[in-house]
Amino acid sequence: PTMAHSKALLVLENFIGGKFVPCSSYIDSYNPSTGDVYCRVPDSGKEQVEDAVKAAKDAFPIWSSKSPLERSQILNKLADLIEQDLEAFAQAESKDQGKTITFARTVDIPRAVHNFRFFASSILHHVTECTEMPTMGCVHYTSRAPVGVAGLISPWNLPLYLLTWKIAPAIACGNTVVAKPSEMTSVTAWMMCKLLDKAGVPPGVVNVVFGTGAKAGEALVCHPDVPLISFTGSTLTAQRITEKSAPHCKRLSLELGGKNPAIIFDDADLSQCIPTTVRSSFANQGEICLCTSRIFVQRGIYSEFLQKFVAEAKKWKTGNPSDPTIDVGALISKEHLEKVRNYVKKAQAEGARVLCGEGVDRLALPPGNQKGYFMLPTVIAEVKDESCCMQEEIFGPVTCVVAFDTEEEVIKRANGVKYGLAATVWSRDVGRVHRVAHRLQSGLVWTNCWLVRDLNLPFGGMKASGIGREGARDSYEFFTEVKTITIKH
Ligand code: NAD
């Protein structure tokens, strides 16, 4: 691993069979807060994926025959090592992704650590099933075994957090893995590889191949010796992965995009609801699949809500992500920033009102960040439900606020998009909260809170937001093959 080359660029290498391996060609990676190229990422393809899959296949017999307790101890050790380097990981994640150092310190890296600890623990507590058939003289029981080489593909918004959410359960269950992080945010995965040996992860159990989706990602998806793919990313890419993996009948877990509603009834506790909804709209620059982007407010409190919500959104400071007082960092890329800005322009052209942020308020940036990909938290009102801003995933610091009258009406409108990932409901009426939660087409429903997660329980989306669930039991089921055995006595 090197800090080399003329301009002291950070140069990453693939991690295959326990060794760092250079690649023949590289992709530039940008620092989103300055617009400078600062890192070179291997541009891997079929050949590198082939080597990684071979290393993973070779490591499988030994790793899969270890006891859950042995694997658990290794995962815990890895968690400790990442935690010891938490600050370095957080700095790297912030620089690579554009997110604020505060978010990386308090959310991304602690959660990556927790992912390993959580699955290190949960793998020790699964039970299989057993039934009896006395009249036949039989008992039946199930047994579960790891599947083989798991292909893991992750996005750029929560780089190490989402990658470890896949690696941890996959290897805890006894699989070996080939992981492909996003080409835009590869640094923390590479840093983690440096700790694997020390943690006791045998060579070949975790292989990381860097590169683009089209080359490295697709080579992994199409590899005949990778029977299962866990993917987090956009719905469009998931469609392509589904097509490409179909000839091999692969097992797929797909965690995709969202267009998440917040439904705010007139009895909501606004003192809680407003700061939480600002956070759910703008945390991590709005680049979280669970972020709120359609806010339905009951008509009686609509103007009060709007005025207070905009005032609260304006408190969020945008600027240099390495400044710990900053709330909003840079978006991932120039192209993405352009795309997000265009949504605001389209809304304006349709007659919607931009209440704060893009095009309305002045964005003042420090001299070193003038070329960064920044955008102010933007609130749009009076957007039509059929507008692209209310239908498509924007994945930036933009949220739309609209009024509604009745419970029946708002459920219909909230469900009126192709996605179904996460919804929030704000009301002090317990009966209503239950009724609405049951009728929302959404894999997760938070009431009177946001982003409170118990990793034991299923996580995932409905409709275009995904297929399958991950969590203690769900990940265990996904990453193992079950067998039913019948014994006649
Ligand atoms: P993306 O789909 O462009 O890329 C995700 C990953 O897939 C990257 O590693 C990419 O290189 C790879 N990839 C791209 N094309 C591929 C192909 N043809 N074959 C194999 N791999 C390919 O998504 P993104 O822009 O990196 O991430 C943002 C998206 O991820 C948003 O839609 C967001 O909602 C979604 N997301 C979902 C969740 C969830 O848990 N549901 C979490 C975070 C992000």
Alpha carbon distance 365, 326 (integer Å): 11
Per-residue pLDDT for 4 more than 50? no
| Residue 319, CA distances (Å) to 323, 370, 398 in order | 8, 10, 17
To the question of pTM greater than 0.95 for the whole model, the response is yes
pLDDT of residue 8: 84
Per-residue pLDDT for 1 more than 80? no
Q: Which two tokens stand for residue 473?
A: 């039991």
**Average of per-residue pLDDT values in the chain:** 97
**pLDDT, tens digit (0-9, with 9 covering 90-100), for 41-67:** 999 999 999 999 999 999 999 999 999
Alpha carbon distance 393, 467 (integer Å): 18
pLDDT of residue 7: 64
Helix (H) or strand (E) holding 207: strand 206-208
Mutate to test the pocket of ligand 1, among 152, 237, 289, 292 (most ligand atoms within 8 A of CB): 237
Q: Which CATH number fits domain 261-447: 3.90.660.10, 3.40.309.10, 3.30.465.10, 3.40.50.720?
A: 3.40.309.10
Alpha carbon distance 205, 174 (integer Å): 9
Fold of 10-257+465-488: Aldehyde Dehydrogenase; Chain A, domain 1 (3.40.605)
Amino acid at 386: E
Alpha carbon distance 14, 43 (integer Å): 10
E strands, 357-489, where? 378-381, 398-404, 419-420, 422-426, 444-447, 462-463, 466-467, 480-488
- Report the alpha-carbon angle 314-426-161, nearest 5: 70
List Cβ neighbours of 304 (8 Å cut-off, separation of 6 or more): 270
Backbone angles phi, psi at 455, to 5 degrees: -65, -15
Alpha carbon distance 129, 68 (integer Å): 18
pLDDT of residue 473: 97
Per-residue pLDDT for 2 more than 60? no
The mean pLDDT of 363-367, rounded to a whole number, is 96
Going from the Cα of 257 to the center of ligand 1, the distance in angstroms, rounded, reads 9
Going from the Cα of 411 to the center of ligand 1, the distance in angstroms, rounded, reads 28
Per-residue pLDDT for 183 more than 90? yes
**pLDDT, tens digit (0-9, with 9 covering 90-100), for 267-321:** 999 999 999 999 999 999 999 999 999 999 999 999 999 999 999 999 999 999 9
Residue 221, helix vs strand vs coil:
helix
E strands, 299-412, where? 353-356, 378-381, 398-404
Per-residue pLDDT for 5 more than 50? no
What percent of the chain has a predicted confidence (pLDDT) above 90? Answer: 98
Burial class (CB in 10 A: 0-12, 13-18, 19+), 116: buried
The mean pLDDT of 327-349, rounded to a whole number, is 98
> Sheet harboring 36-42: ordered strands across?
2-4, 9-11, 36-42, 26-31
Going from the Cα of 213 to the center of ligand 1, the distance in angstroms, rounded, reads 9
- Find the range with the poorest average confidence among 7-11, 36-40, 194-198, 465-469: 7-11
Quick check: 101 and 91 in contact, CB under 8 A?
yes
Going from the Cα of 256 to the center of ligand 1, the distance in angstroms, rounded, reads 7
The mean pLDDT of 235-253, rounded to a whole number, is 98
Question: Half-sphere exposure of 173 toward its Cβ, with a 13 Å CA cutoff?
Answer: 29
pLDDT of residue 489: 87
Position 176 confidence tier, pLDDT thresholds 50, 70, 90: very high
Closest residue CA from atom 43 of ligand 1: 289
Closest residue CA from atom 39 of ligand 1: 255
Which residues form ligand 1's pocket by a CB distance below 6 Å? Answer: 153-157, 162, 180, 182-183, 212-214, 217-218, 221, 232-234, 237, 240-241, 255-258, 289, 393, 395, 421, 461, 466
Catalytic residue from among 255, 287, 312, 393: 255
**pLDDT, tens digit (0-9, with 9 covering 90-100), for 413-431:** 999 999 999 999 999 999 9
Q: Which two tokens stand for residue 17?
A: 């069979």
What percent of the chain has a predicted confidence (pLDDT) above 70? Answer: 99
Q: Is 255 a catalytic residue?
A: yes
The structural domains of the chain, with segments of one domain joined by +, span 10-257+465-488, 261-447
